[in-house]
Amino acid sequence: MEQTRIDESLKQVCREIAGEEASSNVGKVRSASAARFAESGFPHRKHEAWKYTNLNALLRDATTDEQHDFGSVPQWCYTVSDVCLVFVDGEYREDLSNLPELAGVSIENSRTSPALVESLKGKDAATDLHSVADLALASSEHGGVIRVTADFDSTKPIAVVELTSGAKVQHSLWHSMVCEANSKAEVLYVQQGTSGTSVLANSLLSVHVQANAQVDVTKVQFGTSGTLHVDSTVIHQERDSRAKLVTITTGGKRRNNVYMGLGGEGAHSDLSGLTLGSGSAHIDNNTVVDHTVPHCTSSELYKTVVGGKAHAVFSGKVFVREHAQKTEAYQSNRNILLSDDARATSIPQLEIFADDVRCSHGSTTGQLDEEAIFYLRSRGLSHDKARALMLHSFAAEVVEHISNEHIAETVLQAVEQQLATM
């Protein structure tokens, strides 16, 4: 079996962390996660959920570049937000961040902050928290801690920006968020990689949404060839809470893990994703929506446009546990292939153990509808214009899920720019 140096050295790091004496809660969580990662390392391809993404293989030629630039924080991240937390190679950059004295948001040490662990409530239910999330729990140095109280009153989202310079072969980050009962908050989470190197950026966002709280998370993931992004989102919802996660990915090499746990009656989850991949992009979205109690609803829509030799994977599992009667769960995956060599792999899975539920899933993969293009041409649109209009509309359906109109507008522009090159 092939093992790269990164995998082995990370296991060694985790072995050491696991050996440290842990007395606090957070210490215990770290230590347990470290022990698990030290045992398993990166997920093996034999693991069904990782069949199409072999981290060891993708990092075989890992190279760093000390001189490399991390680029710059997209200006719009500052303008749409009140709070903007910027991390470069896993380190918090106060000089680039905007963190006013605002109750609820802080940067804390991952080793000691009890707040981080609080967001993981219910994690035991997430039986298959991937080992990469364990790695983030174990080895993150510090991360953003967001506590949203019921009186938190900002119309602007909290922004988290992660940049990679290529100077470090790997880094992990763990951010956590607790949305207290009856609160409402929005998070914009932007990730941008680098080119010319081959490094790993591993991140985890854990969110605990308490009773009747509402949270909107928008992830904007700009693709670059030099960074392998592994991103995990774990959200636990209590009674009557509403959580929305929109993930927009414009390319690169990436694996996204999403776990949505509906653990309180009356909770609603809304997941959507748009993946655009060209060149040799590899984008693997793995989602789990877990209905554990009655009367919850979830809806999931993932769309993909791939060209070149890109490969996109959508693997979406919906669990309806035995007691989760009256569940309504809908899942849809739509893929457009723009070239002969582009691939889309779709693995929808429903596992239903309750008998009084309404669930559906659907998956389609195909080329742009030539009949539709002809129809548009017959009204005066050129072939290119017709194609662009159809791709725009296909993508816009996901972008429209973004609640914040300023973010939606900016994202739509970025999406259009990307589509124009495909």
Partner 1 sequence: MSALLDVKNLTAGIEGKTILNGLNLTVNPGEVHAIMGPNGAGKSTLSSVLAGREDFEVTGGSAEFDGKDLFDLDPEERACEGLFVAFQYPVEIPGVSTTNFLRTALNEQRKYRGESPLDAMDFLATMKEKMKVVEISKDLTSRSLNEGFSGGEKKRNEIFQLAMLEPKLAILDETDSGLDIDALKTVANGVNTLKNENNAFIVITHYQRLLNYIVPDFVHVLHEGKIVKSGDKSLALELEEKGYDWIKDEVVA
Residue numbers at the binding site for partner 1 (CB under 8 A): 369, 371-372, 374-383, 385, 389-390, 393-394, 396-397
Tokens of residue 340, six digits:
């002969």
* Beta strands 105-109; 142-148: pairing state: antiparallel
Alpha-carbon span 97 to 78, nearest angstrom? 9
Question: How near is the Cβ of 382 to partner 1 at its closest, in Å?
Answer: 5
Alpha-carbon span 190 to 146, nearest angstrom? 16
Question: How near is the Cβ of 273 to partner 1 at its closest, in Å?
Answer: 16
For partner 1, the closer CB: 175 or 303: 303
Ramachandran area for residue 182 (φ above 0: left; ψ -120 to 50: alpha; else beta): left
For partner 1, the closer CB: 64 or 365: 365
For partner 1, the closer CB: 101 or 371: 371
Question: How near is the Cβ of 69 to partner 1 at its closest, in Å?
Answer: 38
Question: How near is the Cβ of 151 to partner 1 at its closest, in Å?
Answer: 38
Sorted by sequence, the CB contacts under 8 Å of residue 258 that are 6+ apart come out as 232, 233, 235, 245, 247, 271, 285, 286, 287, 288
Encoded amino acid at 167, one letter: A
Tokens of residue 359, six digits:
């669930």
Alpha-carbon span 301 to 248, nearest angstrom? 12
Question: How near is the Cβ of 388 to partner 1 at its closest, in Å?
Answer: 10
For partner 1, the closer CB: 253 or 303: 303
Alpha-carbon span 63 to 44, nearest angstrom? 22
For partner 1, the closer CB: 100 or 380: 380
Question: How near is the Cβ of 386 to partner 1 at its closest, in Å?
Answer: 8
For partner 1, the closer CB: 23 or 393: 393
Question: How near is the Cβ of 91 to partner 1 at its closest, in Å?
Answer: 41
Q: Are 355 and 387 in contact (CB under 8 A)?
A: no
Q: Are 300 and 331 in contact (CB under 8 A)?
A: yes
Dihedral angle computed from the Cα positions of residues 141, 152, 274 and 160, in that order, rounded to the nearest 10 degrees: -30
For partner 1, the closer CB: 5 or 383: 383
Alpha-carbon span 279 to 138, nearest angstrom? 34
* Beta strands 358-366; 328-337: pairing state: parallel
Question: How near is the Cβ of 372 to partner 1 at its closest, in Å?
Answer: 5
Rg for the chain (alpha carbons), in Å? 21
For partner 1, the closer CB: 99 or 376: 376
Alpha-carbon span 249 to 230, nearest angstrom? 12
For partner 1, the closer CB: 9 or 364: 364
Question: How near is the Cβ of 396 to partner 1 at its closest, in Å?
Answer: 6
Alpha-carbon span 8 to 13, nearest angstrom? 9
